[in-house]
């Protein structure tokens, strides 16, 4: 039986195992998908164990999407471009990294043609994936809090995409013209905190779409504020399904049964 799974920290909340197992069962494959690491386990130890077990493939989530790269043998064109990986395939003992986050995200967004001005909060692997796969019709601005890693993120965005990373405070002056607002940070994953306040959302363009890549059973505070100010909202679940379907295709060379995957979210 081929073994697939997910690494990240934390991952106990993840819906990927049920979702991927639904697709595996639908395709009648002799495979399993499970969580592959414990909380607090070092990436070096995880990768050593996975290589030894000859795992067939796995997904990668926060905080390993970028730090995993030195542990891989090869990257596909997209992963190399954005320097982030969310899918790994074992090909004859070589671990090859791919990125399906960006394509999965844009495939999940409705009426893309109406979304011209896009604001992304966050500059990590998920944000880079979204930027790297963005349609040519959108104009993207990226904002992040001024943490110790701000200058490093700024240099990366400039080198990879020619984009300037702006302090989060600057977003407030841009909100009235934003068509699509994306939270690509992990804020709200571990708690009920929002990276923006309800008052901030009052400044957002009236018909803007707000997406939080964090997905939970209860709506995040970020989306709660957006709904209170009568904005359209979408959680990270549609993206999760589509990026998972792309990963499934990479691993099994088969089209995933998306309807079965959605049933187990």
pLDDT tens track for 22-60: 999 999 999 999 999 999 999 999 999 999 999 999 999
pLDDT confidence of residue 188: 72
Domains, the chain, in order of start with CATH, read 2-99+239-263 (3.40.50.10860), 103-234 (3.40.50.720)
236 belongs to an annotated ligand binding site:
yes
C-alpha to C-alpha distance for 143 and 140, rounded to whole angstroms: 10
**Cα–Cα distance for residue pair 119/215, rounded to 1 Å:** 19
Mean pLDDT, range 69-80, rounded to an integer: 96
Q: In this prediction, what percent of the chain has a pLDDT beyond 70?
A: 99
Mean pLDDT across 227-254: 96
Condensed to tens digits (0 to 9), the pLDDT of residues 110-129 reads 999 999 999 999 998 889 99
Active site residue 65: yes
pLDDT at 218 over 70: no
Q: Decide: 180 and 188 in contact? Cβ < 8 Å.
A: no
- In the set 65, 81, 128, 154, the catalytic residue is 65
Give the model's pLDDT for residue 13.
86
pLDDT-derived band at 4, boundaries 50, 70, 90: very high
pTM of the model: 0.87
Taking CA 8 as the corner, what is the angle to CA 129 and CA 261, rounded to the nearest 5 degrees? 70
**pLDDT score for 216:** 67
């Amino acid at each position: 039986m081929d073994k697939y799974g997910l690494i990240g920290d934390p991952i106990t909340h993840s819906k990927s195992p049920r979702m991927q197992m639904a697709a595996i069962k639908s395709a009648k494959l002799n495979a399993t998908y499970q969580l592959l690491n414990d909380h607090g386990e070092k990436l070096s130890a995880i990768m050593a164990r996975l290589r030894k077990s000859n795992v067939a493939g796995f997904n990668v989530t926060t905080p390993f999407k970028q730090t995993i790269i030195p542990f891989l043998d090869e990257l596909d064109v997209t992963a190399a471009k954005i320097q982030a990986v969310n899918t790994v395939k074992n090909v004859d003992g070589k671990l090859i990294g791919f990125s399906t986050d960006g394509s999965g995200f844009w495939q999940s967004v409705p009426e893309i043609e109406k979304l011209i001005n896009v604001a992304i909060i966050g500059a990590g692997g998920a944000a880079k994936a979204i930027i790297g796969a963005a349609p040519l019709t959108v104009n993207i601005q990226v904002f992040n809090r001024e943490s110790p890693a701000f200058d490093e993120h700024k240099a990366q965005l400039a080198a990879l995409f020619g984009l300037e990373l702006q302090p989060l405070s600057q977003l407030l002056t841009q909100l009235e013209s934003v068509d699509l607002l994306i939270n690509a940070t992990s804020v709200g994953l571990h708690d009920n905190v929002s990276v923006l306040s309800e008052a901030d959302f009052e400044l957002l363009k009236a018909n803007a779409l707000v997406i939080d890549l964090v997905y939970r059973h209860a709506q995040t505070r970020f989306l709660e504020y957006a709904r209170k100010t009568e904005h359209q909202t979408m959680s990270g679940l549609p993206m999760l399904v589509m990026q998972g379907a792309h990963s499934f295709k990479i691993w099994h060379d088969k089209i995933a049964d998306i309807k079965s995957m959605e049933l187990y979210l």
